[in-house]
Amino acid sequence: MKFTIERSILLKMLSHVQNVVERRQTIPILSNIKIEVIKGSEDRIIIRATDMDLEVVESSQAKVLEGGSVTASAHKLLEITRKLLEGSDIEFSLDRDKGLLNIVSGRARFSLATLPGEDFPSISEGDMPFNFTLTSAQLQSLFDRTVFAVSQEETRYYLNGIYIHEKKKEGGQEASLCAAATDGHRLASAEVLLPKGAAGIPGVIIPKKTITEIQKLVSELLQDVEVSLSSTKIRFKIANVILTSKLIDGTYPDYERVIPSGNDKFLEVDSDILASAVDCVAVISEKSRGVRLYIDRDKIVVSATSAEEGSAETDLEGRYEGDSLEVGFNYRYLLDILGQTKGSKVRISLLDSSSPVVVHDLSDSSVIYVIMPMRV
């Protein structure tokens, strides 16, 4: 195996795959990436990384003198490439007898230990019967607006991801592709128009690590994403990158049942001003994380109290319909929701001081947030 590639191209490829590789692996080859080079009418290099739950593959053009494959340390390759001169070419050659990958760029020379390319595992096999395309904006909307509500509790593993499913509408409305996440304290739901090819998809739970990696790729590449899906795996293809992931094997709860429909008190308020007020008084409640909202007519008083630290209070204007009400929240949960709203105003629907509260972004009716109050 022998090939040459420009440093910036290789660095970009390695940065896309390196987060999949865990530094501490009980299986040594999983600390490596697989490099495969193909000589033909169009010389290509293919880089592959996996942790056996998630796999990222990226291809690019390269100058190939001899084809072949090998695996080498992902993190060492990334560190070496970063330290080489910008704009330089890097020449790779495999010494099969010694099992070393030789790297030459300018006056710099490295030799890395290798493992055979044919021993590298892959999770990408298997039929995926559902295929559809989302724009980068659609995918970002689904994931960015819900991922913050994913649970971190390992005991409820089925909440450790985003639930993607088809949502059928009544009254002749078009169906949608819906994403939902909850940790039991807050819930986020977002939807886009159901793309062609997605009708009849099974409801699946995509792990948070997978979501994080595809978010990085989409925000960088800003291209349409081809999605392939089965009941056990999902694949995202964007530009020359293919990300394949196993799905969480579990049953997602019927989250729509916890979205209240009988809340009869309504507050409309500027989301940025409310977020600023909550953030301001939260300095006093860093340990308890509790803030209190007293809502009466057109005035909202935001306060926090701590036996050790003291108290803080500020007020802001809003438009309120209903009897005066005092309700407490975990300020971090409330700020997470307010940080995801795109418009200037939110509509907060309440029932009493202990029932779930619904937050609507007035600029986007396809997004719903629910937050549980807390005793403050």
pLDDT, tens only, 135-157: 999 999 999 999 999 999 988 99
Cα separation, 138 vs 192, in Å, equals 7
Cα separation, 240 vs 102, in Å, equals 26
Mean pLDDT of the chain: 93
Query: What pLDDT is stored for residue 348 in this prediction?
Result: 95
Per domain, the residue ranges of the chain are 2-119, 130-256, 259-371
Query: What pLDDT is stored for residue 307 in this prediction?
Result: 79
Q: Is the dihedral of CA 14, 17, 22, 28 positive or negative?
A: negative
Tokens of 134: 């989302």
Q: Check pLDDT > 90 for residue 62.
A: yes
Q: Check pLDDT > 90 for residue 230.
A: yes
Query: What pLDDT is stored for residue 273 in this prediction?
Result: 95
Q: Band the pLDDT of 37: cuts 50, 70, 90.
A: very high
pLDDT, tens only, 244-270: 999 999 999 999 998 998 999 999 999
Query: Is 244 in contact with 123 (CB distance < 8 Å)?
Result: yes
Fold held by 130-256: DNA Polymerase III; Chain A, domain 2 (3.10.150)
Q: Band the pLDDT of 297: cuts 50, 70, 90.
A: confident
Q: Which residues pair with 266 in a beta bridge?
A: 321, 349
Query: What pLDDT is stored for residue 23 in this prediction?
Result: 74
Query: What pLDDT is stored for residue 161 in this prediction?
Result: 97
Mean pLDDT along residues 356-368? 93
Superfamily of domain 2-119: DNA Polymerase III, subunit A, domain 2 (3.10.150.10)
Q: Check pLDDT > 80 for residue 25.
A: no
Residue 87: count of CB within 10 angstroms of its CB: 8
CATH code for the domain defined by 259-371: 3.10.150.10
Query: What pLDDT is stored for residue 22 in this prediction?
Result: 80
Q: Band the pLDDT of 172: cuts 50, 70, 90.
A: low
Query: What pLDDT is stored for residue 286 in this prediction?
Result: 77
Mean pLDDT along residues 187-197? 95
Mean pLDDT along residues 295-300? 88
Q: Check pLDDT > 80 for residue 10.
A: yes
Q: Check pLDDT > 90 for residue 41.
A: no
